[in-house]
Amino acid sequence: MNRRRRYSVTAVCLTAVVAAAVTTDLVVEHKVRGRVAETAACRLGATKGVRVDLDDTLAGLRALTGTVGAVHVSAEGVRREGTEMDVDAHLRDVSTGGATSGGTATATVAYDALDRSVGVRGGADGLRTGTDGTRLTLTGTAGTTGLPVTVATTLSTTSHSLTITPASVLVLGREVPVSQLSALPGAGGLAAELEPRTIRIRELPRGTALVGAHAEGAGLVLDFTVAPTGARQAARTASEASACVSGKGRAES
């Protein structure tokens, strides 16, 4: 066999090996993504679909050794305590057994859903949530005057709660601190309504903590950290997830 022939055979063999590796990677990655998506949809109770992305190159082949790497999960229509939200999570160093080195997550609550969760009243005295581009705002009317107002708020969090505190009111082009609002004619009733409101966030997944909140165009965004998960805890979680998928467990709501 001449040298050119040997080179051609070698090139064909290398191409076949690469093609086989890529095919295996795609098949395994598809299975891993499907399994994660099925589990996430069941455990989160997502009603509008789940998307899973394996961020590392050749994640499928890595899964054959027990390691998946970075995983990005997006779930829409998740319901918690009667409120619908969209969840977006980034997990690091995920194993096929479910262990991770931690990660971050966000939950976005649309403003109309937020209004329902905090019991905003309809009509002239209802203050509805929104944003001015940077802050969470409340819009409505000023007490007995009926004048339109915008209330700017500050947000603070603990690991399991969010507090919305009215800070200032924009009325007739003038921004007035809430602490001075009662001195304005006809605004006393509005001042009485603008008390801080705390929303308790219960039944968070194990190892998840609320660390912040901010307003965006799509809604109020809650920021979470996800603690590392060891092999033992991952095995327990995997058992719960398997029960959920098989119909013996159910998503929290």
- Residues 80-108: pLDDT tens digits? 877 889 999 998 887 777 678 889 999 99
| Co-location of 15 and 68 in the same domain | yes
pTM value is: 0.76
How is residue 172 written in tokens? 């007739």
| Domain match, 67 and 121 both | no
pLDDT in tens, 175-205: 889 888 777 666 666 777 788 988 888 878 7
- The Cα 142–Cα 176 span in angstroms is 12
In a domain, 210, yes or no: no
Q: Say yes or no: 169 and 117 in one domain.
A: yes
Is residue 106 assigned to a domain? no
Question: How far, in Å, CA of 240 to CA of 171, rounded?
Answer: 53
**126 falls within a domain:** yes
If asked whether residues 96 and 7 sit together in one domain, one would say yes
**209 domain residue, yes or no:** no
Q: Is 141 among the domain residues?
A: yes
Q: Is residue 143 part of a domain?
A: yes
Cα–Cα distance list, 10 to 1, 17, 21 (Å): 12, 11, 16
Q: What's the domain range around 190?
A: 112-200
Looking at the structure of the chain, the number of domains it has is 2
Q: Are residues 93 and 136 in the same domain?
A: no
